[in-house]
């Protein structure tokens, strides 16, 4: 016990000494952006609260759209307006293209060997190129559109069979998105139909990952206290990593065995087979011979982890928000149904080719992305060098957080920003030509710049097809006779923006029986 107390005392003394040194050095670093006064040692960590995106949005109303915080001993700058975000993610994008050190990347994402958290450089460019060419290119999206269509059809059948039973829409959407992505990545479905206990377990793992990744771990900001794991976050991350690694290792080894046995010979159409073949090539798969090198098993598993987490939960939660908003706004639902019936008819389900012709529907999706961005605080970036933004000094090594949630609710950029109003994206509306693909900084649900979400195109298509199909094929009633105006729309914060209370609904088929 005595050695432990001595270590604790040593850590606290070290933290206090570093705080003093840090405070002295801070006075010499030029003019920093405004922000709330930090507490000793912990800095502004107490200001983050349980809903950091909301708390930071409130602070930005006091200190302005460019804020400086000190989380422990780490400088953090927060962008909370479109113009400030443009400076960081467009004008100074190259300087903010790497990620800061964090426990999630270290303990869950294979020690920064994945695409999301890899340092900017040759290895990251190699992983990005592989993903862009083999999974997210226009050709790849078109080649696999039948997969998305078939898995959405399976979901529609499960909902139609629900009859009088209420369904947890989030669970069913998650099974659909995981299986659709699994068929593209692995050439097979990952789970059985609705009710597969493995699917529920996987969903819980993904949600736990997003919650843990969204936590502000004290050890990330006060290195002297990292070993204590005061919040228990590191222990949870290590345990979660073991579960994910077992899941991914099994998938990888089974796939390699099939290839050795010739089970996939001549039809290497899934991403994992392609990755294994690239790994087996004598020469590296780097970007233009820039030293990217050959893929390792760990990098393959890290890529799969990225796809199965960032590529599934974000899409399913966004569709859940779409349906919830439409239940609360029956007039918007009625107008949308009219458009869907006009373009698609009532004798078939929505197809990928219908989506470009659904003008009002596209506005509904943009409005959902605006109010409920899947990643409310962008994944953190780090300043490679000191720079100046809006007359303020941004020190080298500073962490950048872009408050996507606050930007999309900025009353200086949007009229009635808290209202769900798709018309703002229609011709004649305030943002008629707004693009959610990172070009219009007033609404950047996928981020922007070099580190924009790699799976943006796939995410958009998945969300659009799922949402359009569910709106077109079913009427929706809330469980237990709950009135739409009483529906809980609270958020549960994590790396992704979940609903605090999952949407429980009765789906009522509205098309001909043969459609289902």
The annotated binding site for heme is made up of 453
Cα(150)–Cα(153) distance, rounded to whole angstroms? 5
Cα(47)–Cα(49) distance, rounded to whole angstroms? 6
Q: How far is CA 339 from CA 245, 279, 423, 472, in A?
A: 45, 48, 14, 9
Planar angle of CA 241, 246, 250, nearest 5 degrees: 145
HSE, side-chain direction, 13 A CA sphere, residue 339: 19
Two structure tokens written together for 67:
């804020």
- CA-wise closest residue to 431 among 450, 446, 452, 416: 416
Indicate the annotated binding residues.
453
Q: In what order do the strands lie in the sheet with 504-509?
A: 167-168, 504-509, 474-478
The pairs formed by 150-154 with CB atoms below 8 angstroms and a separation of 24 or more are 151/176, 151/179, 151/180, 151/183, 152/176, 152/180, 152/349, 152/465, 152/466, 152/469, 153/349, 154/179, 154/193
What ranges in 135-192 are assigned the alpha helix state H?
Answer: 138-143, 145-160, 169-186
Longest dimension (CA), the chain: 76
Cα(42)–Cα(72) distance, rounded to whole angstroms? 4
Two structure tokens written together for 435:
């693009």
Helix (H), strand (E) at residue 327: helix 313-328
Asked if 511 contacts 473 with a C-beta cutoff of 8 angstroms, the reply is yes
């Amino acid at each position: 016990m005595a050695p432990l107390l001595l270590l604790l005392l040593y850590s606290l003394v070290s933290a206090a000494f570093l705080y003093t040194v840090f405070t002295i050095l801070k006075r010499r670093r030029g003019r920093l952006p405004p922000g709330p006064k930090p507490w000793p040692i912990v800095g502004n960590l107490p200001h983050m609260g349980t809903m950091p995106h909301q708390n930071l949005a409130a602070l930005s109303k006091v200190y302005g759209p460019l804020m400086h915080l000190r989380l422990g001993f780490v400088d953090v700058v927060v962008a909370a307006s479109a113009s400030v975000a443009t400076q960081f993610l467009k004008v100074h994008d190259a300087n903010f293209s790497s990620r800061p050190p964090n426990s999630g990347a270290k303990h869950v994402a294979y020690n920064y060997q994945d695409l999301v958290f890899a340092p900017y450089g040759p290895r990251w460019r190699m992983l990005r190129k592989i993903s862009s060419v083999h999974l997210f290119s226009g050709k790849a999206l078109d080649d696999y559109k039948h997969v998305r269509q078939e898995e959405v059809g399976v979901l529609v059948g499960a909902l139609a069979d629900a009859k009088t039973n209420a369904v947890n829409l989030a669970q069913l959407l998650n099974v659909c998105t995981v299986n659709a992505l699994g068929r593209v990545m692995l050439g097979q479905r990952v789970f059985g139909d609705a009710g597969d206990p493995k699917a529920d377990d996987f969903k819980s793992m993904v949600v736990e990952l997003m919650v843990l990744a969204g936590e502000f771990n004290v050890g990330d900001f006060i290195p002297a206290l990292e070993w204590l794991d005061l919040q228990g976050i590191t222990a949870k991350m290590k345990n979660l990593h073991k579960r994910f690694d077992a899941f991914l290792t099994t998938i990888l080894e089974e796939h390699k065995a099939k290839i050795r046995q010739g089970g996939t010979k001549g039809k290497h159409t899934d991403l994992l087979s392609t990755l294994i073949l690239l790994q087996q090539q004598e020469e590296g798969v780097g970007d233009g011979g820039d030293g990217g090198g050959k893929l390792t098993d760990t990098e393959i598993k890290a890529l799969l982890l990225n796809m199965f987490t960032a590529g599934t939960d974000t899409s399913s939660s966004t569709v859940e928000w779409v349906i919830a908003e439409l239940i609360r706004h029956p007039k918007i639902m009625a107008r949308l149904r009219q458009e869907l019936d006009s373009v698609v008819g009532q004798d078939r389900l929505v197809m990928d080719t219908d989506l470009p012709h659904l003008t009002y529907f596209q506005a509904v999706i943009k409005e959902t992305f605006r109010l409920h961005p899947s990643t409310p605080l962008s994944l953190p970036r780090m300043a490679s060098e000191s720079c100046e933004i809006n007359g303020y000094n941004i020190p080298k090594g500073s962490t950048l957080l872009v408050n996507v949630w606050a930007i999309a609710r900025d009353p200086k950029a949007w009229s009635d920003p808290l209202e769900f109003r798709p018309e703002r994206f229609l011709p004649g509306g305030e943002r008629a030509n707004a693009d959610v693909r990172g070009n219009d900084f007033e609404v950047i649900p996928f981020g922007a710049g070099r580190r924009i979400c790699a799976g943006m195109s796939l995410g958009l298509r998945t969300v659009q097809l799922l949402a359009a199909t569910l709106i077109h094929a079913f009427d929706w009633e809330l469980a237990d006779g709950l009135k739409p105006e009483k529906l809980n729309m609270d958020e549960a914060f994590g790396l992704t923006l979940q609903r605090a209370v999952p949407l429980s609904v009765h789906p009522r088929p509205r098309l001909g029986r043969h459609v289902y």
